[in-house]
Chain A
């Protein structure tokens, strides 16, 4: 493969990089505020936050509709009552996590769907905790 000749001498010229500020300062400068940033509002830990898209209607009761985008924080510990994204038998699903009398359920929020009981045979990994729903109206 060809490579350029890096040993060739570079040409260095003196540079005048600094700019001199000129003109009057704006009287509004002291009153500038930050712009509102939705990321800052919705995302606490950017490294651990992922967006996923919803398919299906089992969480309608929680305000989660088909085609909505969920904000998922993987760094949060899932606890009872959280809405979570979980890998169940190899598929990613969104449900509410529920402990009831020493039994663990992934519960839908739609009477047409049945809760999934997590037993010894279920292959379950909690993927992350849902912190927001982005729903277009």
Chain B
């Protein structure tokens, strides 16, 4: 049976999210900055045309942006995450065979749906997402995931397609398009493999398609061979099954200003750990170990550099913020060295087990407080923070001043996740 895959990719996703709620942003240059307002991570078409490059440090073009009236936003992950979930939910109405590939991309397996006119179907998918969520998407269709990805790329770069393209329908133009695509831009190849391929004289997607699969297998493993076969139209990569539960959960931040004192670092670590513990409980897991790390800037040559990490095994698998924070602070105290300007810190929970599987530690010392009480305390804590806003109830270690908090000077409201920040309409 011939297969059909669609790759749905949101156009300039973060910018599009901002535009849904602020119509004045239409047709003007818009950029979104990374955590801490450091670099450009999303650009509208107008910003691209002005020559603002991806990943450009904000300070380098701040004056240009002011002069040309570029709208600048700090990243607003509460908004982008909610809008992504809406896009994915809308796509899932077309088929249950859906793989969420990233925050703004999904593969749909449309094999055997009985549709003759795939392009019309792709247009219907795009129009439905656009209407339901306000987010514009491009649709690439093909007999394999690699070709669907390539079709999407061609659709994006050729406005006359209306953002929807079926690779199979390209006919004799296929080769010309493949010849224009650098081999490093083929899905799954990347920079390292593309260098190896270039030594073999393979520099475009077309070259790779024409290559001997067995030779590619010898050079790039069986995954490389599969990509060659996918380029030839034979589907080797299926949709992934439901992804396994995350085996690590991490929270890390680059600080708004360098952290130099122990007390601020303890506060930061306490906050990260509390947040990570919330994520742990959201996915109904317990953790058996925890790692904290702190680091100075790796870029500043003039300052002394220091990085270290420490791990603590926990007495039993736990979901208790208090126990996790105590372990994190203990680990931090082991690696803390005064006299450095710390740029970043984080905490990672490891060795996760499902909540229901916990037995406690067989020979552990008596617990400081009963599991039952700890469990209901955590439920109350999570409910309060969910209903009244993050950080309403917190551990003293998390601190109240938070001088280390991230710089986010241009963040838009949490339009879809906070009652006090809803979009305003004129009546």
Tell me whether B423 and A55 are in contact (CB under 8 A).
Answer: no
A60 to B427, CA, bound (A): 8
If A1-B298, A47-B89, A48-B133 touch, does A15 touch B357 (CB 8 Å cutoff)? Answer: yes
Q: Which of B49-57, B117-125, B347-355 contacts A (4 or more CB under 8 A)?
A: B347-355
- B86, B293, B416, B426: the one contacting A91 at CB < 8 Å is B426
Whether A85 sits at the interface, judged by CB under 8 Å, is: yes
Q: Is B131 an interface residue (CB 8 A)?
A: yes
Residues of B335-352 contacting chain A, CB below 8 A? 344, 348, 350-351
B397 interface residue, CB < 8 Å from A?
no
CB distance from A103 to the nearest CB of B (A): 22
Cross-interface CB contact of B295 among A1, A60, A94, cutoff 8 Å: A1
CB closest chain-A residue, reference B335:
A2
Cβ–Cβ contact A11 & B426, under 8 A: no
Contact of A59 among B344, B348, B354, B427 (CB under 8 A): B427
Q: Is the CB of A91 within 8 A of B23?
A: yes
The 0/1 profile, CB within 8 Å of A marked 1, for residues 150-175 of chain B is 00000000000000000000000000
B424 at the interface (CB under 8 A from A): yes
Number of interface residues of A (CB under 8 A): 42
Query: Which of A83-115 touch B at CB < 8 Å?
Result: 85, 87, 90-94
Whether, in the assembled complex, B291 has its beta carbon less than 8 Å from a beta carbon of chain A, the answer is yes
A93 touches B357 (CB 8 A): no
Given contacts A54-B425, A75-B132, A90-B26, 20 further A-B pairs with CB under 8 A are: A1-B298, A1-B344, A2-B308, A15-B357, A16-B359, A17-B356, A19-B356, A46-B86, A46-B89, A48-B86, A50-B423, A52-B422, A53-B424, A56-B426, A64-B427, A65-B427, A69-B419, A74-B134, A92-B426, A127-B134
Known: A1-B295, A17-B357, A125-B23. A93 touches B423 (CB 8 A): no
B133 CB contacts on chain A under 8 angstroms: 47-48, 74
How far, in whole Å, are A102 and B134 apart by their CA atoms in the complex? Answer: 28
A contact residues around B85 at 8 Å (CB)? 47
Please give the distance in Å from A32's CB to the nearest CB on chain B.
Answer: 22
Contact-residue size bin, chain B (C-beta under 8 Å from the other chain): 35 or more
Instruction: Report whether B89 and A74 are in contact in the complex, using a CB–CB cutoff of 8 Å.
Output: no
Tell me the bound Cα distance from A54 to B424 in angstroms: 6
Complex interface: chain A residues within 8 A of B132 (CB): 45, 47-48, 74-75
A34 to B14, CA, bound (A): 38
Find out whether the CB atom of A56 lies under 8 angstroms from the CB atom of B427. yes
Looking at A4, A53, A59, the one whose CB has the most chain B CB atoms below 10 A away is A4
Contact of B309 with A4 in the complex, beta carbons under 8 Å: yes
Residue B374 at the chain A interface, CB threshold 8 Å: no
A46 to B295, CA, bound (A): 42
Contacting pair B422 A51 (CB below 8 A): yes
B12 at the interface (CB under 8 A from A): no
Per-residue CB contact flags for chain A residues 63-87 toward chain B (1 = under 8 Å, else 0) read 0111001100011000000000101
Residue B194 is within 8 A (CB to CB) of chain A in the complex:
no
20 residue pairs of the A-B complex, CB under 8 angstroms, read A1-B295, A1-B344, A2-B309, A11-B288, A15-B353, A15-B357, A17-B354, A17-B357, A47-B85, A47-B87, A47-B90, A47-B132, A50-B416, A53-B425, A55-B427, A58-B426, A65-B427, A75-B128, A90-B24, A94-B427
Min distance, Cβ B85 to any Cβ of chain A, angstroms: 8
Q: Which residues of A contact B (CB under 8 A)?
A: 1-4, 10-11, 13, 15-17, 19, 45-48, 50-60, 64-66, 69-70, 74-75, 85, 87, 90-94, 125, 127
- Interface 0/1 of B285-300, CB less than 8 Å to A: 0001001010100100
The B347-371 residues at the A interface (CB cut-off 8 A) are: 348, 350-351, 353-354, 356-357, 359
Is there an interface contact between A52 and B424, defined as CB atoms closer than 8 Å? Answer: yes
**B311 interface residue (CB < 8 Å to A):** yes
**8 tightest CB-CB pairs across the interface, nearest first?**
A87-B23, A48-B132, A90-B24, A47-B89, A56-B427, A2-B309, A93-B426, A4-B291
- Quick check: A54 and B90 within 8 Å, CB to CB? no
User: Contacts of B264 on A, CB cut-off 8 Å?
Assistant: none
Within the complex, which residue of B24, B90, B288 is in contact with A48, where a contact is CB–CB below 8 Å?
A: B90
Query: Could you say which residues of chain A place their CB within 8 Å of the CB of B307?
Result: 1-2
The distance in angstroms between the C-alpha atoms of A66 and B426, with both chains bound, is 9
Instruction: List the B side residues contacting A65 at CB < 8 Å.
Output: 427
Contact B295 A10 (CB under 8 A): no
Asked if A90 contacts B23 (CB within 8 A), the reply is: yes
User: Nearest chain-B residue to A64 (Cβ)?
Assistant: B427
